[in-house]
Amino acid sequence: MSQPSSPPRTVFAQQALDLAQLFAMAFAEPIASGKVLYKVEMSTPEGPSTGGGVQGVQHLTLVPQGGGAAIVIGLANRAQKTAEVRTHALLQQMQERRSPGTSFALDPAVYAQLLERLKSFFSNGSMTVSIADATAPASSAEPALPAPGRVPWGLVIGIAAVVLALGLGLGIWLGRAR
């Protein structure tokens, strides 16, 4: 009996699959940070087509070997020849937003080495690599929003004046139009 064959893949889907296989070979060794081992993985296309590359985004994740939540550290798109990798600072910022008081567990020096390897891997594959970094905290020079329950009367009066002026102007215009 012959084995059932999988449906043929489109060019973009095959390129994405090839990239994921190369990635798996290049990042086969787990990364150690303290007592935790992380596997660096790239997702593969879910079907035989990526919609002409439109659905060709492949996520880069750190998967703790002892169990736990995977951490998305970037993405790649072979069809567009682009990759984006998040900095340790951004991952730390995202972790704090999700779970205040906790930190991104991977050692910054270990992650910096991984970041360089990722940049090199994608650059050698003729892909443009961008780095997503943490945003700076909001400046205190930004206008403050009114406290909950307080009405910004200056704004209310300003809007009322504009509405009144427009209403009067429209009334005068309508009176002339008759």
Please check whether residues 120 and 158 belong to one and the same domain: no
Q: Could you tell me if 38 and 126 lie in one domain?
A: yes
Do residues 90 and 126 both lie within one domain?
yes
Cβ atoms of 121 and 97 closer than 8 Å: no
Helix 108-124 and helix 88-98: axis angle, to 10°?
120
87 within some domain = yes
Same domain, 126 and 156: no
For residue range 109-125, what is the model confidence (pLDDT) as tens digits?
A: 999 999 999 999 999 98
Residue 165 included in any domain? yes
Contacts of 133 (CB under 8 A, 6+ apart): 86, 87, 89, 90
Q: Indicate whether 128 and 155 sit together in one domain.
A: no
Tokens of 148: 């909950």
Identify whether residues 50 and 79 lie together within a single domain. yes
What is the C-alpha separation between 102 and 165, in angstroms, rounded? 54
Instruction: Report the C-alpha gap between 3 and 78 in whole angstroms.
Output: 30
Domain count, the chain: 2
Tens of pLDDT, residues 35-81: 889 999 998 877 554 455 455 788 999 998 888 888 899 999 888 89
In this structure, the answer to whether residues 84 and 124 fall within a common structural domain is: yes
Query: Does 163 share its domain with 94?
Result: no
The answer to whether residue 1 is domain-embedded is: no
> Same structural domain for residues 115 and 165?
no
Owning domain of residue 25: 11-132
Report if residue 70 sits inside a domain.
yes
What distance in Å separates the CA atoms of residue 151 and residue 130, rounded to the nearest whole number? 44
Both tokens assigned to 110: 């270990």
* Of 91 and 35, more confident: 91
